[in-house]
Structures are given as structure tokens and as C-alpha cells.
Amino acid sequence: MPHTIFDTPAETVKTMKFIDFKEPGGPDVLFCNQGAIPSIGDDEVLIRVRAAGVNGADITQRKGLYPPPAGASPVLGLEVSGEITETGSHVSAWKPGDRVCALVPGGGYAEWVKTKPGHCLPIPKGLGFIESAALPETCFTVWSNLIDRASLKAGETLLVHGGSGGIGTTAIQIARALGVKVFVTAGTNEKCQACEELGAEAINYQQQDFVEAIKHYTGGAGVNVILDILGGEYINRNLKALALEGRLVSIAFSQGHKATVSIAPIMAKRLIWTGSTLRPQSDRVKDSIAEALQHTIWPLIEKGKIKPVIFKTFPLEQAAKAHQLLESSAHIGKIILTTD
């Protein structure tokens, strides 16, 4: 039998608010709807959502360009924080009442969401629901790409494009905590300053060619790893900015998903070009990432060495405004929806 936080069936809430859209489009297609609370399986947990992170993938899905994986909720939202209210009969790691933040396959823009127990992490000591809702998607993405795929290690150098966003501010702090020298690109002096306050060397791409700046800062050697969200014409420039044995990791392509690339620098400098998306990966892989984060990154968060950067919060019903802000690129750090 499942375990539930509700004492009697009469106390069980049957419906919830969630953000819906009937057809792809701009932020104005989003509206608040009412529907059934998800039913969980034997190996799932149900979370009463208190806050949910807003991510670029949500915008892409809203536009009809990023359909949810088979079996996932069509509701937007990939990361939440809240309390577990029900656990499946096969779940032993969590109990009703536990405060968690979690990676979810969809459904985060709602008052309740279900996910796998292995994708939940305890809310770090010292953080509340809003700050912890900013952790799962960014930390899972940064760890899986920089550590698991690019094998970034202490003493190396890293370039992060879009350093002032949610991924960027997280990547700066994780890399710095692990002993990595970090460079970032950002589009305004204000954003550059925010990145520098987190410990990065910032390059205003509106004023400088990042390739030349990297050559200058590294004495012509280039950086060991680049975390790229741009794609398109930036790929060849990234290859120029990499050092011998460098690694380019693509996680988004705001400048286009196609590029004409010369193989010559890849061969000459023995480069590795890889990339990933997080959402379609297996439960086993996500379980492994969560374990690594809890062992390595969560203690650093609790010591104050890594802290989520929150730009603004919106009530769940104002998800359209949150999307407008994210698409404007005026933010520094994360944008969060709250359900209370």
C-alpha cells in the first residue's frame, strides 16, 4: 500500500492548479487550469510543490519544439521543491513530510508532481523552497556535462557561454569550488560584474572577441573545456579557443543547431566535441548524478561555498510573465514560480 501524509480519505485533496496551453506559441498561450492530482506508481513519490524553476527547455516545449518523453507529463516544468506527500509501496528512501528538491520529467508547473525517488535530494541546510527549486536542473546539467562528460578537473580552465544565466551561475560556482579557473561570456557590464562576483573572469562579448580574450588570458594556450549554449557560427570560434586536448560540450543552440565545421582543428589539437540533453536520459543515469551531487556538491552548498542566484519569483498563475522575462535575457540567475 502507498504511504500518504493525509490521515483520512476525507482530507485528501483531489484537484490542483497547473499551467496549461492548448497550442504552441508565445508566453500569452499559458493559462492556469484545474485538474486531477497525479496518481503515483509503486516506485514513485508525490510532491506538494512549493516552488518550481523556470528553464529554457520550458520555453522550447511551449513553442512546440521539445515534446515531453513518452510517459512524461505534458505540463511544463522540470525542477521543483516541496514536501513529499505520498510514496509508492516500493519506496523506502523517503517518507511523507520529507522536504526535497527534485528533478521531474515534466509537470513541475503545478501544485503537485510525481517523480522517481532517486531524482529527489534533501533541501540543503540553510536553504528554503525558493532557493532549492533552482538547484536540480542546473546542478544535474552542470555535473553531468562538465564532470561526467568533459572530465573537468582541478587546475584546468573553463569557458562558460551565457555565464549570468541559471546554468552559467551554477557552473561558475561548481567549477570554482572544484579548483577550476573560470572564464565566462556575458552581454552587459552588469552581467559581467555579477559573474565576477561569483569568481569568474568575465568577457563582454559586445565589446570583445571572446577568442582573442581567451588567448590573452591564457597566454595563447586556450581553455581546457567550453560549456556552450550557442551552437551555430560559434562552434568554429569555440574550436579556436580550445587548448590542446580540449573538450567542447554543447548543451543548447540558441544561435542555430547547424554549423559548417572544419575538422582540421579537431584533429590538429586532438579535441573532443560532445553534448547531451538531460530530460531523455535513463532513470539509472539520473540516480547516479543525484548521488554524486549529494556526496560532492550538497556539502559545499551547506557550507555556503555554492549558492543559487535567484533573480525574481512569480506566483504560479503568472507563468507567462516569467517566460517573458526569461526570453528577454534581462535576468541574472534563476527565475522561480511559487505556489503559495
CA–CA separation, 299 and 273 (whole Å): 31
Cell 522550447 sits on residue:
60
AA identity, residue 139: C
pLDDT score, position 8: 34
Looking at the fold, whether 131 and 50 belong to one and the same domain comes out as yes
Give the domain-ending residue among 251, 275, 299: 275
Provide the CATH number for the domain around residue 112. Answer: 3.90.180.10
Please, what is the average pLDDT of the chain? 95
pLDDT score, position 5: 41
pLDDT score, position 43: 97
pLDDT score, position 13: 64
Q: Kindly calculate the radius of gyration of the chain based on its CA atoms and give it in whole angstroms.
A: 20
pLDDT score, position 247: 98
Looking at the fold, whether 158 and 117 belong to one and the same domain comes out as no
pLDDT tens digit string along 121-164? 999 999 999 999 999 999 999 999 999 999 999 999 999 999 99
AA identity, residue 294: Q
Q: For residue 14, name the pLDDT band (cuts at 50, 70, 90).
A: confident
Instruction: Map residue 16 onto helix, strand or coil.
Output: strand
pLDDT tens digit string along 156-205? 999 999 999 999 999 999 999 999 999 999 999 999 999 999 999 999 99
Beta strands in 191-333 (DSSP E): 201-204, 223-228, 242-250, 272-275, 310-315
Containing H/E element for 154? none
Looking at the fold, whether 173 and 194 belong to one and the same domain comes out as yes
Domain coverage including residue 87: 3-135+279-338
Of 12-16, 41-45, 111-115, 209-213, give the lowest mean pLDDT range: 12-16
Looking at the fold, whether 148 and 254 belong to one and the same domain comes out as yes
Query: 30: closest CA among 325, 278, 279?
Result: 325
Instruction: Map residue 185 onto helix, strand or coil.
Output: strand
Instruction: Write out the three cell numbers for 229.
Output: 549554449
Single pTM value for the model:
0.94
Looking at the fold, whether 49 and 153 belong to one and the same domain comes out as no
Looking at the fold, whether 226 and 289 belong to one and the same domain comes out as no
Looking at the fold, whether 143 and 259 belong to one and the same domain comes out as yes
Give the domain-ending residue among 228, 252, 275: 275
How many folded domains does the chain comprise? 2
Q: For residue 313, name the pLDDT band (cuts at 50, 70, 90).
A: very high
AA identity, residue 285: V
Looking at the fold, whether 9 and 116 belong to one and the same domain comes out as yes
Decide if pLDDT at 7 tops 80: no
pLDDT tens digit string along 280-291? 999 999 999 999
C-beta atoms surrounding 261 within 10 Å: 13
Tell me the percentage of the chain whose pLDDT exceeds 70.
96
